[in-house]
Amino acid sequence: MTSRLNTPVKLGHHMLNNRVVLPPLTRQRSAQPGDIATDLMAEYYRQRATAGFMVSEGTQIEPRGQGYAWTPGIYTPAQIDGWRKVTDAVHAEGGVIFAQLWHVGRVSHNALQPEGAAPVAPSALAAEQAKAFIETGPGVGELMQPPVPRALSALEIEELVAHYAQAARNALDAGFDGVEIHAANGYLVNQFISAHANQRDDEYGGSLHNRLRFLREIVEAVTAVVGPERLGVRFSPLFSGTDQDRVYIGLVEEDPHHTYIEAIKVLEASGIAYVSIAEADWDNAPDLPQTFRQAVRSTFSGRIIYAGRYTAARGAKLVEAGLADLIAFGRPFIANPDLPQRLFNGWPLNALRAEGMYGGSALGYTDYPMYAE
């Protein structure tokens, strides 16, 4: 059944060679100053270009969007030029890559903000169980508690929507094949969707319809730039059993099924290429309910990507059942640049090393061997 992952599938304008996805994985290797993608990053993505589809690590759309030191941006000419090295390397190998457009909102720190200002968010509510990461010296940093953010004005929200549209233009200029809106993991778009983080009393808060307004406006604005066939959105619905040390991966709603099916209806109305669902991925994490998976499929006519602690067999089973079109593998793809071939051939996997996961050099980044090596 694992051969189901080794079959072509159409995504927007692209015919993908297989159904294995490299999902967005924060690696914190951008050049400083300037948060610019590097030759080393280009090599990292080139090594993994046999994925049927790739999404870049989150790339902040503006300076206020950064929550972790050394993550790349996509709002300056130098950043666009840096990413072009990456897309050129991927395309030379026949790969397809989208840019993930990222804004962390309240999951930041004054040390990362322009002029040391407070982070911005839908409401002035601190992200109590999330951490930002700041540089404390050359190549070293520390996890920090985010401060209470400043609530955005309606005009600033309008300006942020324009930032997303401009970032999408920049991504196309950098050679990306499309873009993914990061609406997961407790970051800005997720904060607007969540009743726990959004306590506004204007048109962006209160009812679920209002809390989805920011998402609708971003999707509309970005679609106008790239076209629906070059757009995806990522969500991280959590249903129960949240490990309190992992709350940063999302926000648990009172009715996550209703919340996210309504959000997916927004995507369906826009005709975008795909929705990506990031599942809880820690030990003993709860599975997504089958009823939710079925509702996603019946609601959304585009491609559906699932990411979590998938094996080849488990992912292929979901594709075989018609509930998924592509399966994303995160940690295994870090340690195995030739992951698709290993999965398709039943070859053993390299073990993931903790060293080099975040920040650093080629160690733990581009030095993992191919199977033949």
What mean pLDDT, rounded, does the chain reach?
95
Q: How far apart are CA 4 and CA 18, in angstroms?
A: 9
245-281 pLDDT tens trace? 444 556 789 999 999 999 999 999 999 999 999 998 7
| Nearest in space to 127 (alpha carbons), one of 175, 186, 170, 178 | 186
Token pair belonging to 94: 């026949």
Report the C-alpha gap between 241 and 286 in whole angstroms. Answer: 6
Q: Can you state the angle between helices 39-47 and 77-92, rounded to 10 degrees?
A: 30
Q: CA 49 to CA 39: how far, in whole Å?
A: 15
Q: Which of these, 313, 229, 227, 233, lies nearest to 265 by C-alpha position?
A: 233
**Which one of the listed residues 187, 204, 260, 368 is annotated catalytic?**
187
Confidence of residue 285 (pLDDT cuts 50, 70, 90): confident
Digit-coded pLDDT (tens) for 110-138 = 999 999 999 999 999 999 889 999 999 99
Can you list the domains of the chain with their CATH numbers? 2-345 (3.20.20.70)
Question: What's the pLDDT at 239?
Answer: 74
* 187 is a catalytic site residue: yes
pLDDT computed for residue 244 by the predictor: 45
Residue 302 in contact with residue 267, Cβ under 8 Å? yes
> What local confidence, expressed as pLDDT, does residue 252 receive?
83
